[in-house]
Amino acid sequence: MSVTLSAPLAARRARPGPPPLTPLLDPLIERVIRDTPECLHALVARHGSPLNIVWPHTVAGNVARMRCALSAERVDHAIFYGAKANKSQALIRAAVAAGVGVDVSSAAEFEDAVRAGAARICATGPAKTMLFLRQLAEAGALVAVDSLEELDDLVALLGPTGRARVLLRYRPRSAGRTRFGMAADAVLEGLRRVARAGARVAFEGFHLHLSGYDYASRAVAIAEVAALVEAAAGLGLPARLIDIGGGLPVRYVAPEAYAHYLAEQGPEHYGTGRVPGDFYPYGSALTAADWIAGLLQAPCRGTTVAGYLRSAGLQLALEPGRSLVDQAAISLFRVIRTKPIGDGTAIVFVEGSSFSACETWFASEFLVDPILLPAAARRPDAAPLRASIAGHSCLDGDVVSHRLLAFDSAPQAEDLLIYANTAGYQMDLLENEFHRHPMPARLVAGPSPDGAFIFVRDK
């Protein structure tokens, strides 16, 4: 659950210029920002900027809403948290506590999942090392095999007595030119090789993953996989599940506000003088639960996806990453100074870099307005300002936001800019120690006995 910012918080960000993109916030996180700003300033003073704060309490609700949509259609299902979305061990623990498995794409992610006590692990990375394959097989994890070559490697390392659980990764026709998965003829050859491997390879079904965020393409892909399910049964290899990966949407801002922004934006709203060509759907019309419901009700093989899965006795597996950690983190940047650039706009320099808020590195923008949290000692007479946000490195491209954000009061040194909902890839996908600055600290927020929150280092 998330809420729109209350009026006092919303008033701290801009009105003129480009339409606002006010972030949706979890009610508890909003309360901390609104009622205890001095606590956030103290945390940044102690741990540095940027500072990431993880809020694991949101994970259980995200999982529950997904399960509700799946159960409403009486579909057997399995959920695996896509651990690549965030490096936080606390979020993996929260996912495991919510009863879901963990999807891993590296040996390090696998070890984190084991450390968190994950009972179910699925590995979907495309180029698994022999060491990683061995770890997975020995742990009884589910291995999504990406190629015939990877299948041969896995069978070879098993020897005469080893055993592995596998899915064969299918490349849907709509995926176009992609390096992931196998075309139908290669999957059929994979099935034949699995059959020859005998009891050493336990075939459990098919995996697929599509880019983008529409459910209709997944429904089409499931219909394509249905033919492979029948072919597998003909070889004595009954499938028990179809894993469709992730791609469930997250709603960062109200859909109406997002649609209004896209309709009204122009080159004058960006410091580059250019509108980016593509954005994540930050104001998605669908929630993750809506998306699941739409998928299950979509047509498939003369019935619906849900009807097909039930009739075929198949489990549907999902690997939500971003959507499972929706509202599970905020990122705080301390302002260094504001620099006018001579055209009526300015640049706000923050302590940190765009490697910790990474959309501009993909020629896009994080279309969620930051919240300005003023320092206690700031000058009260700061004028309104339109400004982009830049990092403190020597790279000209180190820009957190090219958008010219309109502030009612110009940001000043020691103010904080808070970016909401950064757990899904935003905070640590590209973070590094450029200029030898230390990696941003990551804290975990948890309830204290007095009903407030305590903040400890993520481990």
Tens digits of residue pLDDT in 142-188: 999 999 999 999 999 998 999 999 999 999 998 878 889 999 999 99
How far is Cα 52 from Cα 57, in angstroms, rounded to an integer? 15
Residue 188 is encoded by which pair of tokens?
Answer: 């059929």
Prediction pTM value: 0.93
Domains of the chain: 3-55+327-457 (2.40.37.10), 57-251+286-318 (3.20.20.10)
Alpha-carbon gap, residue 445 to 55, rounded angstroms: 5
89 C-beta neighbours (distance < 10 Å), count: 18
Distance of CA 299 to the CA centre of its chain: 28
pLDDT at position 3 is 46
2-57 pLDDT per residue, tens:
444 544 454 444 434 568 999 999 999 999 999 999 999 999 999 999 999 999 99
pLDDT score at 14 = 40
Q: Which residue has the higher pLDDT, 276 or 447?
A: 276
Peptide bond into 50 cis (omega under 30): yes
What is the average per-residue pLDDT within 68-87? 98
Helix (H, G, I), strand (E, B) or coil at 273: coil
Please indicate whether residue 435 or residue 218 has the higher confidence score (pLDDT). Answer: 218
Q: Name the amino acid, one letter, at 292.
A: I
* DSSP 8-state assignment for residue 29: H
Query: Residue 415: exposed, middle, or buried by beta-carbon count in 10 A (0-12, 13-18, 19+)?
Result: buried
Burial 219-230 (b: 16+ CB within 10 A, else e): bbbbbbbbebbe
- Kindly list the distances between the CA atom of residue 132 and the CA atoms of 101, 104, 157, in Å, as whole numbers in the listed order: 18, 10, 11
**pLDDT for position 379:** 77
H/E run at residue 394 = none
What are the phi and psi torsion angles at 80 (to 5°)?
-120, 125
| Residue position matching structure tokens 């450390």 | 115
| pLDDT for the residue 17 | 59
For residue range 56-77, list pLDDT tens digits in order.
Answer: 999 999 999 999 999 999 999 9
Whether the predicted pLDDT of 131 surpasses 80: yes
| In the predicted structure, residue 450 carries a pLDDT above the cut 90 | no
Q: Which of 366, 354, 403, 380 is nearest to 50 (CA)?
A: 354
CA distance 387 to 16: 12
Distance CA 385, CA 346 (A): 7
Tokens representing 203 are 């075939």
Q: Round the average pLDDT of the chain to a whole number and report it.
A: 92
Spatial contact of 260 and 40, defined as CB atoms under 8 Å apart: no
Tokens coding 236: 């004595």
Output the CA–CA distances (angstroms, integers) from residue 441 to 87, 249, 374, 452, in the order listed. 12, 27, 21, 21
312 burial level (CB within 10 Å; 0-12, 13-18, 19+)? middle
pLDDT at 13: 42
- Within 8 A by CB and 6+ apart from 397, the residues are 354, 360, 361
Asked if 315 contacts 240 with a C-beta cutoff of 8 angstroms, the reply is: yes
b/e per residue, 335-358, with b = 16+ CB within 10 A? bbebeeeeeebbbbbbbbbbbbbb
CA separation for the pair 223, 244 (Å, rounded)? 12
Say what the pLDDT of residue 355 is. 81
Q: What pLDDT sits at residue 97?
A: 98
Cα–Cα distance for residue pair 408/113, rounded to 1 Å:
45
333-369: pLDDT as tens digits:
999 999 999 888 999 999 988 788 888 878 899 999 9
Q: What residues are labeled active site? A: 394
Give 70: exposed, middle or buried? Use CB within 10 Å, 0-12, 13-18, 19+: buried
